[in-house]
C-alpha cells in the first residue's frame, strides 16, 4: 500500500507551513515561508490561500522592512477554534485546552481510582474534563475543532479503538463510539508514544528539526520518529518499540519475557534492578512499584553526592548511552530528545552520563550531526501531543481542505497568481 497520496502531501505541506509560525511566534510573509520551507513561492501561495480560506491564517498588516513594495504579513488566527488534548494515564485523566496558536487556555486533572477502571468510567472522566476546561475558558463546545485522546497500549486509530490496554486488561474497547454518544466533536485516538512524538514535533524541539527521534522513559520505554516533518508509523502503526530491542544479548529478563531488552535496563523497574545490584538493601527498594518515589529519591541523593545513587545513575547512563547510540547510528537524526518521567526526575544528571557513553557508541558522523537534549516541554507532553492529534486531524479535514474541486482549484490558483503578481 502506498502511504503518500496527493492529499497526504498537501496535508504535510500544510503542516510544514504552520510549523514555521509556531517555531517563531511572529507574523511572516509568503516570501519568509518560501525561504524557510524550501517550497516554491507558488506552492506557498497556494497553501496560504487555502489556510486563509479555512480561517487558519489571517492577514496581519504589511511588512515594509525589506525596502521594496510592502508585503502582506500572515499570522495564525488563534481564535479560529480550540483543540483539546486528553492524557488518559494509569492513575489520572489530564485534559488541556489550547487555542489554534497552541497557547494553553485551561487544564483539568482528575484521578482514576486504581482497580475500578471501566471504559464507561474513563469515558465519564473524559467528558467531565472536556466540560471543565471549556467552562474554565468560557468557550462553547462549538468552538472546539477536535479532541485528541492518548490511551496506553495498542490503539487502532482508524477505528478509534483501544485494541489492548495492558494496565486495565481492556481489549477492543470502542472509545470513540463511547465518546461520540456524549460529545459531538471529532475524536482522534492514539497512544502515548505517538502523542509524545507529535508533542515534540508541534510544541517542542521538532518545530525546527526535520528528522527527530523522541525517546520516552518511564516504566516502559519507547522511541517515536518524526521523519521529514511527519510521524513515521510503520506498516501497522507499531514502529518505535525500542524498549524491546535487544541491548544485552542473553541478559536480564524483561517483563515482556524476552532477554536483554533496553527496557529491562533503562525503564524504572530496570533502574530498580540496577540499584539492587549496587546496594541490595537500599531503603529506596522498599518503595516497591512507586516509580516516582524511586526516581525522586535517586535524584535527591545524587544531588547530595550519595555514592550509591551516583553509581546507579552512572550505570543507567551507560546502558542508555549505548541504546540511544543505536538510534543515532540507525536514524542519523538532527535532534534526539529524552522525555517523560525518568527524564523529568533525573534530567541533566542522567543526560551527562548518557552523553559520555553515547560518544563511545555512536559513529563520528551521525554523532556530530545530532543534538541530544532533555525535552523542553513542560510535564504535559502527552496531553499536548493528544491536542496535536486533533490539530493534525483538523488540518487533514477533507471537507474543509479538499479534495480540491475544479472550481475551487481555479479560485485558489487565481488568488495565488494575483498574490504572486502583486508581490513578486
Residues that bind a second copy (CB under 8 A): 1-7, 9, 12-13, 16, 36-40, 42-43, 154, 210-211, 223, 227-229, 232-242, 244-251, 256, 258, 260, 319, 322-323, 325-326, 329-334, 360-361, 363, 365-366, 368-370, 403
What is the C-alpha to C-alpha distance for residues 383 and 91, in angstroms, rounded to an integer? 14
Order of all β-strands in the sheet with 170-173: 154-156, 161-165, 170-173
Instruction: Please report how close the Cβ of residue 261 comes to a second copy at its closest, in angstroms.
Output: 9
Q: Which is nearer to a second copy, 290 or 360 (CB)?
A: 360
Query: Are 193 and 157 spatial neighbours (Cβ–Cβ below 8 Å)?
Result: no
Instruction: Please report how close the Cβ of residue 9 comes to a second copy at its closest, in angstroms.
Output: 5
Instruction: Please report how close the Cβ of residue 346 comes to a second copy at its closest, in angstroms.
Output: 20
Residue with cell 463546545: 141
Instruction: Please report how close the Cβ of residue 6 comes to a second copy at its closest, in angstroms.
Output: 4
Q: Which is nearer to a second copy, 300 or 422 (CB)?
A: 422
Q: Which is nearer to a second copy, 210 or 306 (CB)?
A: 210
Query: Are 107 and 133 spatial neighbours (Cβ–Cβ below 8 Å)?
Result: yes
Look up residue 13 and give its three cell numbers.
505541506
Q: Which is nearer to a second copy, 245 or 287 (CB)?
A: 245
What is the C-alpha to C-alpha distance for residues 297 and 169, in angstroms, rounded to an integer? 30
What is the C-alpha to C-alpha distance for residues 155 and 280, in angstroms, rounded to an integer? 38
Q: Which is nearer to a second copy, 304 or 405 (CB)?
A: 405
Q: Which is nearer to a second copy, 214 or 239 (CB)?
A: 239
Instruction: Please report how close the Cβ of residue 71 comes to a second copy at its closest, in angstroms.
Output: 21
Residue 218 neighbours by CB distance under 10 Å:
20
Nearby residues of 410 by Cβ (< 8 Å), 6 or more positions away: none
Rounded to 5°, the CA angle 341-203-104 comes to: 90
Instruction: Please report how close the Cβ of residue 202 comes to a second copy at its closest, in angstroms.
Output: 16
Q: Which is nearer to a second copy, 286 or 410 (CB)?
A: 410
- Contacts of 307-313 with C-beta under 8 Å, sequence gap 24+, read 308/275, 308/278, 308/279, 308/282, 311/278, 312/271, 312/274, 312/275, 312/278, 313/346, 313/349, 313/350, 313/353
Q: Which is nearer to a second copy, 113 or 364 (CB)?
A: 364
Instruction: Please report how close the Cβ of residue 141 comes to a second copy at its closest, in angstroms.
Output: 34
What is the C-alpha to C-alpha distance for residues 391 and 15, in angstroms, rounded to an integer? 9
Instruction: Please report how close the Cβ of residue 72 comes to a second copy at its closest, in angstroms.
Output: 21
Amino acid at each position: 500500500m502506498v502511504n503518500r497520496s496527493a492529499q497526504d502531501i498537501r496535508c504535510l505541506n500544510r503542516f510544514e507551513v504552520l510549523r514555521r509560525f509556531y517555531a517563531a511566534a511572529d507574523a511572516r510573509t509568503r516570501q519568509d515561508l518560501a525561504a524557510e520551507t524550501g517550497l516554491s513561492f507558488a506552492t506557498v501561495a497556494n497553501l496560504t490561500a487555502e489556510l486563509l480560506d479555512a480561517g487558519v491564517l489571517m492577514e496581519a498588516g504589511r511588512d515594509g522592512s525589506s525596502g521594496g513594495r510592502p508585503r502582506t504579513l500572515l499570522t495564525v488566527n488563534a481564535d479560529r477554534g480550540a483543540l483539546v488534548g486528553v492524557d488518559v494515564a494509569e492513575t489520572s485523566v489530564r485534559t488541556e485546552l489550547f487555542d489554534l496558536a497552541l497557547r494553553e487556555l485551561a487544564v483539568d486533572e482528575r484521578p482514576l481510582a486504581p482497580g475500578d477502571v471501566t471504559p464507561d468510567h474513563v469515558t465519564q472522566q473524559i467528558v467531565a474534563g472536556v466540560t471543565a476546561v471549556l467552562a474554565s475558558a468560557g468557550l462553547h463546545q462549538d468552538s472546539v475543532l477536535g479532541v485528541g485522546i492518548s490511551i496506553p497500549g495498542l490503539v487502532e486509530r482508524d477505528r478509534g479503538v483501544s485494541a489492548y490496554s495492558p494496565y486495565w486488561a481492556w481489549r477492543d474497547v470502542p472509545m470513540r463510539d463511547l465518546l461520540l454518544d456524549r460529545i459531538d466533536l471529532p475524536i482522534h485516538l492514539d497512544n502515548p508514544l505517538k502523542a509524545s512524538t507529535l508533542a515534540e514535533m508541534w510544541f517542542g524541539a521538532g518545530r525546527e528539526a526535520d528528522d527527530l527521534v523522541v525517546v520516552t522513559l518511564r516504566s516502559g520505554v519507547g522511541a517515536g520518529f518524526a521523519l521529514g516533518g511527519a510521524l513515521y508509523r510503520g506498516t501497522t502503526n507499531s514502529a518505535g518499540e525500542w524498549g524491546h530491542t535487544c541491548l544485552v544479548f542473553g541478559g536480564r529478563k524483561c517483563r515482556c519475557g524476552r532477554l536483554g531488552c533496553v527496557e529491562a535496563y533503562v525503564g524504572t523497574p530496570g533502574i530498580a534492578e540496577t540499584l539492587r545490584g549496587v546496594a541490595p538493601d537500599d531503603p529506596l527498594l522498599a518503595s516497591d512499584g512507586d516509580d516516582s518515589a524511586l526516581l525522586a529519591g535517586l535524584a535527591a541523593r545524587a544531588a547530595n553526592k550519595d555514592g550509591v545513587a551516583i553509581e546507579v545513575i552512572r550505570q543507567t547512563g551507560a546502558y542508555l548511552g549505548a541504546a540511544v547510540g543505536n538510534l543515532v547510528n540507525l536514524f542519523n537524526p538532527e535532534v534526539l530528545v529524552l522525555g517523560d518521567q525518568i527524564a523529568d526526575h533525573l534530567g541533566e544528571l542522567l543526560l551527562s552520563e548518557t552523553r559520555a557513553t553515547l560518544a563511545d557508541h555512536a559513529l563520528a558522523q551521525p554523532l556530530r550531526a545530532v543534538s541530544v537534549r532533555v525535552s523542553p516541554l513542560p510535564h504535559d507532553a502527552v496531553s499536548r501531543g493528544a491536542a496535536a492529534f486533533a490539530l493534525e486531524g483538523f488540518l487533514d479535514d477533507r471537507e474543509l481542505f479538499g479534495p480540491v474541486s475544479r472550481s475551487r482549484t481555479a479560485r485558489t490558483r487565481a488568488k495565488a497568481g494575483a498574490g504572486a503578481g502583486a508581490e513578486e
